[in-house]
């Protein structure tokens, strides 16, 4: 039997008196700023979204619950490092920290937890994603709009049995997409747009039969768009604009005839409109990428490409997956 949470989350504004403290209720249908009943050890869900407190605030150390399986702190202005209280919740399955101002590194222990969904997009997390990321059990992982950096490792194939959605939009990742991405046979959404990726599209992606949305836009990828990807049976959206692709195999040049929404603008496709200039293309194609010898540069500072996290409900990226939209699970 599931117990709906009555566990209150106390949020204190900086320099405020006890009387100005607001309490976020977790009861269904209750306003986040209304009062809640006393804590219970049977809580299973804790929600404190959009608490309507204008001041930036630190996430407090809340009472733990051995039965808490869902923690939703999205759409606030929480600041400070990753809330380590999360790591002490043994039954947690769903973690939502979207649209806050958390910063610093992600703790490696996060990915050792038996989580099904991790939403940390639109914060200020930095440094590379810990190597332990590939041990996660989550089916949905959304890191978008943080300042992470690093490369996707070949060991990403370890996520094959669970991962269904991976959104790394604007996370400053670099390097080549590893062929091992093709082992993620359950993947339905892959969005790595607005990064510094180079090299070709791995042909192995053609084996992702469940893939519906693939977004590679705004990178520095090059080479051929392989037909095997374009004829995936469940593909509905394929965006690869703002790269340096020079050829589209077969039906890739007219995906709309196959019922697929696509965008191939600003590449180096000679017979297509709205492409890069010849000068841009010649400069890029004069330096072909060797992914086997590419050395990952590690962390990133965000740089001039970085898009600051926008407070919900503003969309921070051109492509907003349902998994990223504020208020959606």
123-157 pLDDT, tens digit per residue, is 999 999 889 999 999 999 999 999 999 999 999 99
- Distance, in Å, from the CA atom of 107 to the CA atom of 132, rounded to the nearest integer, reads 9
- Distance, in Å, from the CA atom of 44 to the CA atom of 78, rounded to the nearest integer, reads 22
Mean pLDDT of 48-61: 53
pLDDT classification of 99: cutoffs 50, 70, 90: very high
| CB-based contacts of 316, cutoff 8 Å, min separation 6 | 122, 144, 145, 170, 307, 309, 310
Tally DSSP H helices, then E strands, for the chain. Answer: 2, 20
200-246 pLDDT per residue, tens: 999 999 999 999 999 999 999 999 999 999 999 999 999 999 999 99
> What confidence score (pLDDT) does residue 285 get?
86
Is the Cβ–Cβ distance between 98 and 119 less than 8 Å?
A: yes
Q: Produce one character per residue of 248-264: b if its CB has 16 or more CB atoms within 10 Å, e if not.
A: beeebbebeeeebebbb
62-80 pLDDT per residue, tens: 545 778 999 999 999 999 9
CA distances (Å), origin 150, targets 47, 171, 177, 195, 202 = 32, 9, 12, 11, 19
φ, ψ (nearest 5 deg) of residue 203: -60, -25
> What confidence score (pLDDT) does residue 275 get?
98
> What confidence score (pLDDT) does residue 38 get?
33
Give the architecture-level CATH label for domain 45-293: Alpha-Beta Horseshoe (3.80)
Tokens of 28: 């269904």
| CB-based contacts of 128, cutoff 8 Å, min separation 6 | 148, 149, 150, 298, 299
CA distances (Å), origin 151, targets 131, 167, 177, 197 = 10, 14, 8, 9
Average pLDDT, the chain: 80
| CB-based contacts of 64, cutoff 8 Å, min separation 6 | 85, 88, 89
pTM equals 0.78
Q: Is the pLDDT of residue 286 over 80?
A: yes
Q: Is the pLDDT of residue 53 over 80?
A: no
247-265 pLDDT per residue, tens: 999 999 999 999 999 999 9
Domain ranges of the chain: 45-293
């Amino acid at each position: 039997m599931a117990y709906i949470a009555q566990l209150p989350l106390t949020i204190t504004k900086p320099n405020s008196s006890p009387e100005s403290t607001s309490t976020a209720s977790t009861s269904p249908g209750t306003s986040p700023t209304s009062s809640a009943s006393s804590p219970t050890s049977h809580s299973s869900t804790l929600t404190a979204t959009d608490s309507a407190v204008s001041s930036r605030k630190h996430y407090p150390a809340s009472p733990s619950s051995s039965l808490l399986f869902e923690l939703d702190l999205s759409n606030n202005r929480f600041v400070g490092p990753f809330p380590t209280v999360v790591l002490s919740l043994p039954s947690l399955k769903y973690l939502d920290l979207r649209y806050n101002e958390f910063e610093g590194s992600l703790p490696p222990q996060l990915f050792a937890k038996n989580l099904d969904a991790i939403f940390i997009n639109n914060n200020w997390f930095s440094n590379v994603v810990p190597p332990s990321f590939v041990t996660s059990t989550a089916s949905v992982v959304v890191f978008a709009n943080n300042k992470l950096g690093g490369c996707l490792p070949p060991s990403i194939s370890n996520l094959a049995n669970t991962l269904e959605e991976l959104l790394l939009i604007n996370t400053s990742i670099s390097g080549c997409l590893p062929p091992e991405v093709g082992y993620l046979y359950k993947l339905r959404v892959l969005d790595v747009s607005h990064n510094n990726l180079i090299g070709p599209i791995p042909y192995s992606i053609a084996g992702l039969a469940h893939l519906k949305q693939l977004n590679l836009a705004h990178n520095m990828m090059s080479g051929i768009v392989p037909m095997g990807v374009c004829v995936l049976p469940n593909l509905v959206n394929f965006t690869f604009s703002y790269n340096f692709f020079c050829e589209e195999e077969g039906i890739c040049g007219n995906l709309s005839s196959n019922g697929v929404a696509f965008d191939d603008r600003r590449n180096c496709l000679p017979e297509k409109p709205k492409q890069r200039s010849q000068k841009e293309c010649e400069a890029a194609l004069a330096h072909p990428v060797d992914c086997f010898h590419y050395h990952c540069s590690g962390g990133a500072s965000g740089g001039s490409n970085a898009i600051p996290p926008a407070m919900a409900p503003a969309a921070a990226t051109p492509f907003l997956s349902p998994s990223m939209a504020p208020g959606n699970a």
